[in-house]
Structure 1
Amino acid sequence: MIKKGILLFLFILSFINIYAQELQIRGRVLDAQGKEALSFVTVAVIGSTQSTYTDDDGNFNLKVPSAQSKIRFSYVGYENQDLLFSTFKSPAEILLVSENLIEEVVVKRPKLKYSNKNNPAVELIRQVIAHRDENRLTGQQYVEYEQYEKISLGLSNLSEKFINRKAFKNYQFLFQKDDSVQIGDKYILPAFIEEKVSKIYYRNDPKKNKQYILAERKAEFDPKFVDNEGLGNYFNNLYQHIDIYDNNIALLTNQFLSPIANSAPTFYRYYITDTIKTSDPWLVELSFFPRSKTDFLFQGKLYVTLDGQYAVQSTQMKVNEDINLNFVRDLNIELAFEKDNKSKYFLNKSSLGIDFSLTERGSGIRGNRIVYYSDYINGKVQPDSIYAGESVVKAPTQPAVANKEGFWASLRHEPLSKAEEIIYYNIDTLQTIPSFRRFMDISTLVLSGYKQAGPVEIGPVNTFYSYNPVEGLRLRVGGRTTESFSTKFYSEAYMAYGFTDQKWKYFLSGTYSLNNKSVYKFPQHYIRASIQRDTKIPGQNLDFVQEDNVLLSFKRGENESYLYNDIYRLEYKAEFENRVTISAGLSKWRQQPAGVLNYQVTQEDGTPLFLNELNTSEVSVGLRYAPHEEFYQGKLYRTPIFNKYPIFTLNYTAGIKGFMEGEYSYHNFRAGAFKRFYLSQFGFADVDVEGSYILGKNIPFPLLTVHRANQTYAYQLNSYNLMNFLEFVSDHHVAFNMQYYMNGFLLNKIPLLKRLQWREVFSFKAIYGGLRDENNPSFNNNVFAWQKNSDGEVSSFTFGREPYMEASVGLSNIFKILRVDLVKRLNYLDQPNVSEWGVRARFRFDF
């Protein structure tokens, strides 16, 4: 009976949904005179709460409760138009007439210099700024509302010739006629959609914003090829929440100054362009423009209430075409506000549309993020339990209905457009076509370096060949299992051979997932056992790249100090939803010198003794906290999506003498903090601070901190780019690293250079530390002697009275993808094989 009841209920829901779809209208609203599309026109059923707004192209889609319904179209500055549903033929074309349609009048006056002084528009905006805190959400004590958000993307501006190519013969079902284009036949290819419905509770004191995700849905690709969650994170980062009341609005990894920010009158020009007396309360139309067209600022219109609240009733904004913004052909923001139960204005709808393209008229990617807010209640006190726990909580959704169209039709605040409705179906269909799967397979190989081979991935291909002076030509082949093999057990292995040292190297690991999820996805929770024999440069620790990458085979200066490492390791890792990560490990490690590296101690009679190996046994624990962290999970590394929150790390490693042949006892404490500082119009700065302290006596240099050096020609963010390998060693240190990206604030103001759209970047790195006498070979013959290069010169040191420092000045955004730095080493210039200046390059993609 229960099953029959459920089936009957679903049948009724489906029937209701089908019927509701019949009682809906679609169409487009245009200006009656110029036939231009009108966005943000209110389309409402008279006598009902059902309403919607037109999108950027004037399109609307509205459910209607009955065939006798009357629909009202209203827009600031235009006459209202009321029409009966029975007179509609979808899709309908609605023409709105301007309230003050008069003949063109040309008024000429002397050009006046703009000034903030005695300017009524500036006085008005200062009132808006003064009342900002009391009008925004964070100015209320208790607020709750329902939120529906939708992100959709597709290829845009496709010609008929393009879609009729032979390669797309089997994909014609994907293309849709682009109704927003006025001239010629153009098509779009909808490619991604994500929907989310949430209940939001906000409390001001103590401050807490709690989001209960009631349902979410997105078009997903095969996880073998794409990290769907990371892709969603990335799109959400590009299409962020827009709050006009924030001082700075984050968009496309940049920050734009709000037109009602505290400092806005310094950067914007304001003009009163209209007074709207047909609205209650009356509104002032305030037009604003950037003083400098190249700064990260908006231009558009604000509609401000004249009821003493000085609240923003709506706004339309875009960015100037002269701005240094990569690949963005068009960007539009529209916000609408309504009064709540306490006559405060709350955000009712937010629309962000961005059109990406390599060229002005070519094909591109059009994306939209639309958010609707409803059931807004101001002042309702909720129990503390509502706000307890994590800031974002996903409510369980019944799998049987989570992806059913009838279920989602009841949740949406606005029906999907025709093009959006079929995205889910198209993505599923695409992945059944063999030619598309081959395309995804090849794309994955090119972008991530792995080739799919059933339940195994072979790669990464950029490590198959490399060169170094110890191994000579090095060939390597490897791979790993995927979820297709097992969702609990994962294995990874490689074999490598050096033709100069004629030695085999290898790696083998087995990982058991403790949460039945892929160990390559968040949240990771696993136990891993591994064995490895391979070469390593002491102190080289690269981010987002492997040491035997073929691109790193070319190095400056002498590069002959290597280690052969034999490592047996057992690891545990657990990630939590609050972005806390706990790790622990147990390892047995044998290090053997190679190349010009040697382990030399001085005996009591003064003669040198050379050791063949160094054996240690270590236990370690680690803690990492990255609040609200998001990232894209690649095949090898996670690409972080940085936010305003700091990232903290804390690690402890202990060497145990006498355990598993360990020869030394020591305690290594390390801590670090990273934060991105947003500086509004002046760009942003990444600041990294770290430090360490090692307790123990008679500790040889391989167990101390060998500071990260870089002898390649690639600029490395977290290494010292003019420091030589193994040049500095310490048992205690602090380090400071700042990368400052100015986003073209200076270069964009130079007439000729601004056409190149280059951007300034500056860096400064400093590190200071030392060696206590018990670990310093200058004072203790029981530890390994300072290393020497091939010429017999001492080539490793500790720090003197001043920190090692280097700085750089660079240009980024060269050809949109390249950063080139001129690096200067500021001190310790008398040490062997030192370069005072260097040019380094790095691939970097920015908007």
Structure 2
Amino acid sequence: MDFKSLLRKFSFLAFLLFYTTSLFAQVTKVTGVVTDGGSKGNDPMPFVTVGFAGSSIGAPTDNDGKFSISSDKPFSQIKATFIGYKDVVISIAPGKTQTINIKLVPLQQELTEVEVKAGKKPRYRNKGNPAVELIRQVIAHREQNRPRHYDYVEYKEYDKMQFSIVNLSPKIAEKKFFRKYKFVLDNRDSTTVPGKSLLPLFLDEKISQYYYRKNPEKERNIIIGQRNVDFGGSIDAEGVSQFFKYMYNKVDIYDNSINLITNNFLSPIANGGPQLYKYFITDTIETEDKKKLVELSFTPRNTEDMLFEGKIYITLDSNYAVQKAKLGINKNINLNFVKSMTVNLDFEKNPDGRYHLSKSNTLADFGVTKKKSGGVFGIRTITYKNYIVNKQQADTAYVSGADDQVLSDAVKHRSEQFWQQNRLDTLTTAESKVYKNIDSLKNMPSFKRTLDIATLLLAGYKSFNWFEVGPSNTFYSFNPIEGLKLRLGGRTTPELSKRYYFETYAAYGFKDEKWKGFLSATYSLNDKSIYKFPQNYLRASFQRDTRIPGAALQFVQEDNFLLSFKRGVNDKYLYNDFYKFDYVHEYENHFSYGLTLKKWTQSPAGSLYFVNNTGTINNLTTAEVAVNLRYAPNEGFYQGKIYRVPIPSKYPIWTLDYTRDFKDVVGGAYNYQSLHLRIEKRNYLSQLGYMDMVVDGGKIFGQVPYPLLTIFRANQTYAYDIYSYNLMNFLEFVSDRYASINLDQHFMGFFFNKIPLLQKLKLREVASFKAIYGQLSDNNNPALHPSLYQFPVTSIGQPITYSLGNTPYIEGSVGVENIFKFIRVDLVRRFNYLDHPDVSPYGIRVRAKFDF
């Protein structure tokens, strides 16, 4: 075949087709430059949206303010829009090529009369201020305007979450490396947010039916359809969706505090609003039904605090209800990676004259720097329809069922027709292409390789389809007992099976010349991944490895290279053999229980020893049955590769553990029982940030040697550990009954924001308090019972292990976080038991954490 001849014929045919089409189609093309009419030099304006009026055809201006748009339709007007500027509509000649230059004028509030008086600027006061009197009326009527004031409420809800890359240069799709992704990179939306070119990459949709009953109080949200983009590989779409919705919480302006971007903002109509906000009556508006609304503007008294600024529109009737709200944040606010954030709330009138929320739209622009270009833009839009009040349904409508939390495949795989019929809002043209684009993208070999590399760097695993190797941070570590320690392991993935999972590692210490290892086999009883909620699985495992008494770390982190660096004397270890059988069952209401059968043999290593009045003991074996009960109402998760991360909430988490040891069963040497209760909760304190609180206590029943007592969790690394005692030595304190409290307070810059230099650095204050009170009964005191193991001592006979007396161990810290946006440094103070060997009253500890 003559390819050159064929190519010439094809080229001629294409030219003929193009030329003929051009004769019949009259193209309207407009080019020009957009400039800033409010600047002295008429500066060009980048990222202004210019489009044909009444259409979605448009494009943003480039860095020089230039634009070019065209269409084969006979449009007669173009429109230019940009946030903070008046929209401009200009007439054009249809079917022609022309140049139109546009000048945008900044928005300014027009005043009918201006009076200028000499003298000092009047001081803002609450007393006698009509705006403050009005907001106090809104606060007084707040509860009666909430949906929960009705006896019964029901409505349909459509929840749409979208994340996009913002203002990505159009030229990037032409670069050689990115050409293969052109179908994704060219899917732009330049009309949804004026001045922003959005490239949507993530989309999540949910349709649900909500029911509420006041007495007895019950609420239920039945999800009838949900879907999101699936990137495949190591990215868990459902977990990503949960985390994004945690960042973009639902906004209820009638709440005292509004949680957004993991921070608490005080509502402008909160009880304490008049003490922290300034209010101004800026306009009076008449609605279509001839009702009067007051436009009330508000701004923080201190622009660095976690507060909103914006406008609310209030009805001038006996309800004093919010009919509309526009909430924004000040550019000086102490919030990381957020360039701007806006919340728009729209309300509709009920038949009784009150208002309900009809639409909530939250927009946030994220970026490492404050520059206008680049970054990520997130939008969460929630639409409410079919709002019905005081209509009683059957009792079953208000009782939660299993499908409310665990979605069936039918709910997660609704047809396109279902979504078209049930959406309460519309998708943009760009959003409608996201599902298909990402589905094509995830099947591309080059994208899979990129995802593989990202998984190795971020999660520490390298995937080989059905098996993944890792975690990488445990490949190398060292300690005084094992010396250099190399470890290699991995686990199977759902590509092998959703029912069966295997995990293993092998490790070798070059100083003690011993092999260690781990092997587990897990069977999922509900045909779900063992890492997904709700868990329901059986696991059998064996582990042989070293462990520091009192260092309660997860086994996957014990060999972490960074934890190899420790302060003080660190030569007391245990060799452990664990034979375990676990059963874990979680329920949809977030109650779970676990059953563990364990044979545990521990042998002393290094300078540690087991000795009693009969001589030296080589090892200690126990045969245990343990039951774990846990209740975490409304708990959400972000699904990671190594473990799942609970998303913090205002609800407490209760954990109860019971352990029973059996003597003479598979070598068990003791009979004892133990009970442990733990309560943890995050307390949101409005402008004072939040406090994480943990209260726990435990008791051991029976006589046991010190390795089986409660060895309090110590930390001899230089990292700050939230749940450990950071100036306590390993094995320093033991007890058979105790109670403790752990408070970790994050002030989120409340004090530093008032200090100019510190305010510019965006630093935040943090403080902690930890106390533990415990006792050792005479029954477990080796000084009174020589048959028990004697407490360890130093080489010169100085004790290193103690029981707590009548004085609790107390430790506290003050520190600074958000250094370089992710580093926390604490000055830790130990208040007592300072006469023990190798202890210090002060220490500096560092912790890394990314937060908004």
Q: TM-score, normalised by structure 1?
A: 0.86
Say whether the 8 Å CA contact 1:727–1:795 is kept in structure 2. yes
Q: Distance in 2 between matches of 1:527 and 1:154?
A: 41
Q: CA deviation at 1:402?
A: 3.4
2:348 corresponds to 1:348 = no
Superposed, 1:139-288 pairs within 5 Å as: 139-175=149-185, 176-180=187-191, 187-222=197-232, 224-279=233-288, 280-288=290-298
Counterpart pick for 2:531 among 520, 524, 527: 520
Deviates more, 1:203-212 or 1:388-397: 388-397
CA RMSD of aligned residues (A): 3.1
Q: Tell me which amino acid in the other structure corresponds to 1:719.
A: S
Counterpart pick for 1:634 among 640, 664, 678: 640
Q: Distance in 1 between matches of 2:403 and 2:578?
A: 40
Cα deviation digits, residues 464-520 of structure 1 (max 9, x gap): 110000001001111111111111111111111101101111111111111111112
Q: CA deviation at 1:390?
A: 4.8
2:312 corresponds to 1:307 = no
Q: Tell me which amino acid in the other structure corresponds to 1:266.
A: Q
Say whether the 8 Å CA contact 2:227–2:412 is kept in structure 1. no
2:718 corresponds to 1:705 = no
Q: CA deviation at 1:447?
A: 0.8
Cα deviation digits, residues 187-209 of structure 1 (max 9, x gap): 43211001111111111122222
SS of the equivalent of 2:802 reads coil
Counterpart pick for 1:336 among 313, 338, 346: 346
Q: CA deviation at 1:412?
A: 1.1
Superposed, 1:71-86 pairs within 5 Å as: none
Q: CA deviation at 1:791?
A: 4.4
Tell me the residue number matched to 2:138.
Answer: 128
Q: Distance in 2 between matches of 1:545 and 1:129?
A: 51
Residues 102 and 370 from structure 1, CA distance in 2 versus in 1: closer, same or farther, beyond 3 angstroms? closer
Cα deviation digits, residues 2-48 of structure 1 (max 9, x gap): xxxxxxxxxxxxxxxxxxxxxxxxxxxxxxx9999999xxxx9xxxx
2:612 corresponds to 1:601 = yes
Residues 278 and 457 from structure 1, CA distance in 2 versus in 1: closer, same or farther, beyond 3 angstroms? closer
Residues 348 and 525 from structure 1, CA distance in 2 versus in 1: closer, same or farther, beyond 3 angstroms? same
2:749 corresponds to 1:740 = no
Q: Distance in 2 between matches of 1:38 and 1:140?
A: 46
Q: Distance in 2 between matches of 1:217 and 1:259?
A: 34
Residues 346 and 103 from structure 1, CA distance in 2 versus in 1: closer, same or farther, beyond 3 angstroms? closer
Deviates more, 1:835-844 or 1:398-407: 398-407
Cα deviation digits, residues 563-609 of structure 1 (max 9, x gap): 01111111111111111111001111111100010001024xxxxx1
Q: Distance in 1 between matches of 2:399 and 2:193?
A: 52
Residues 343 and 257 from structure 1, CA distance in 2 versus in 1: closer, same or farther, beyond 3 angstroms? same
Q: Tell me which amino acid in the other structure corresponds to 1:249.
A: I
SS of the equivalent of 1:235 reads helix
Counterpart pick for 2:695 among 689, 692, 700: 689
2:680 corresponds to 1:674 = yes
Say whether the 8 Å CA contact 1:709–1:722 is kept in structure 2. yes
Q: Distance in 1 between matches of 2:287 and 2:635?
A: 47
Q: CA deviation at 1:829?
A: 0.3
Q: CA deviation at 1:386?
A: 1.1
Residues 337 and 467 from structure 1, CA distance in 2 versus in 1: closer, same or farther, beyond 3 angstroms? same
Q: Distance in 1 between matches of 2:229 and 2:215?
A: 39
Residues 445 and 289 from structure 1, CA distance in 2 versus in 1: closer, same or farther, beyond 3 angstroms? same
Deviates more, 1:471-480 or 1:276-285: 276-285
Tell me the residue number matched to 1:53.
Answer: none
Residues 332 and 544 from structure 1, CA distance in 2 versus in 1: closer, same or farther, beyond 3 angstroms? farther
Tell me the residue number matched to 1:108.
Answer: 116
Q: Tell me which amino acid in the other structure corresponds to 1:525.
A: N
Q: Distance in 1 between matches of 2:269 and 2:356?
A: 16
Say whether the 8 Å CA contact 2:219–2:399 is kept in structure 1. no
Deviates more, 1:395-404 or 1:791-800: 395-404
Using the aligned pairs only, state the percent identity. 50
Tell me the residue number matched to 1:805.
Answer: 810
Counterpart pick for 1:370 among 345, 367, 381: 381
Say whether the 8 Å CA contact 2:739–2:773 is kept in structure 1. yes
Q: Tell me which amino acid in the other structure corresponds to 2:324.
A: S
Residues 444 and 790 from structure 1, CA distance in 2 versus in 1: closer, same or farther, beyond 3 angstroms? farther
Say whether the 8 Å CA contact 1:144–1:202 is kept in structure 2. yes
Q: Tell me which amino acid in the other structure corresponds to 2:746.
A: Y
SS of the equivalent of 2:557 reads coil
Q: Tell me which amino acid in the other structure corresponds to 1:630.
A: G
Q: Tell me which amino acid in the other structure corresponds to 1:622.
A: N
Cα deviation digits, residues 278-307 of structure 1 (max 9, x gap): 543210111111101011111111110112
Q: Tell me which amino acid in the other structure corresponds to 1:247.
A: N
Q: Tell me which amino acid in the other structure corresponds to 1:112.
A: P
Residues 647 and 257 from structure 1, CA distance in 2 versus in 1: closer, same or farther, beyond 3 angstroms? same
Superposed, 1:451-462 pairs within 5 Å as: 451-462=462-473
Superposed, 1:8-157 pairs within 5 Å as: 106-109=114-117, 111-157=121-167
Say whether the 8 Å CA contact 1:342–1:378 is kept in structure 2. no
Aligned length: 763
2:560 corresponds to 1:546 = no
Tell me the residue number matched to 1:771.
Answer: 776
2:453 corresponds to 1:442 = yes
Tell me the residue number matched to 1:535.
Answer: 546
Q: Distance in 2 between matches of 1:777 and 1:528?
A: 37
SS of the equivalent of 2:241 reads helix
Q: Distance in 2 between matches of 1:180 and 1:749?
A: 39
Tell me the residue number matched to 1:787.
Answer: 792
Say whether the 8 Å CA contact 2:405–2:588 is kept in structure 1. no
SS of the equivalent of 2:833 reads coil
Q: Tell me which amino acid in the other structure corresponds to 1:709.
A: A
Residues 136 and 769 from structure 1, CA distance in 2 versus in 1: closer, same or farther, beyond 3 angstroms? same
SS of the equivalent of 1:296 reads coil
Residues 394 and 656 from structure 1, CA distance in 2 versus in 1: closer, same or farther, beyond 3 angstroms? closer
Q: Distance in 1 between matches of 2:226 and 2:456?
A: 30
Residues 635 and 102 from structure 1, CA distance in 2 versus in 1: closer, same or farther, beyond 3 angstroms? closer
Say whether the 8 Å CA contact 2:47–2:167 is kept in structure 1. no
Q: Tell me which amino acid in the other structure corresponds to 2:546.
A: T
Q: CA deviation at 1:345?
A: 0.4
Cα deviation digits, residues 628-657 of structure 1 (max 9, x gap): 111112121222210000000000011100
Say whether the 8 Å CA contact 1:233–1:631 is kept in structure 2. yes
Q: CA deviation at 1:792?
A: 3.5
Say whether the 8 Å CA contact 2:222–2:404 is kept in structure 1. yes
2:333 corresponds to 1:323 = yes
Say whether the 8 Å CA contact 2:189–2:429 is kept in structure 1. no
Say whether the 8 Å CA contact 1:151–1:369 is kept in structure 2. yes
SS of the equivalent of 1:671 reads strand
Tell me the residue number matched to 1:79.
Answer: none
Q: Distance in 1 between matches of 2:625 and 2:506?
A: 27
Superposed, 1:439-588 pairs within 5 Å as: 439-542=450-553, 546-588=557-599
Q: Distance in 2 between matches of 1:372 and 1:327?
A: 27
Q: CA deviation at 1:164?
A: 3.6
Tell me the residue number matched to 1:610.
Answer: 616
Q: Distance in 2 between matches of 1:129 and 1:374?
A: 26
Q: Distance in 1 between matches of 2:410 and 2:173?
A: 37
User: Gapped runs of 5+ residues in structure 1?
Assistant: 1-32, 45-86, 88-96, 604-608
SS of the equivalent of 2:550 reads coil
Say whether the 8 Å CA contact 1:738–1:764 is kept in structure 2. yes
Counterpart pick for 2:837 among 832, 836, 842: 832
SS of the equivalent of 2:243 reads helix
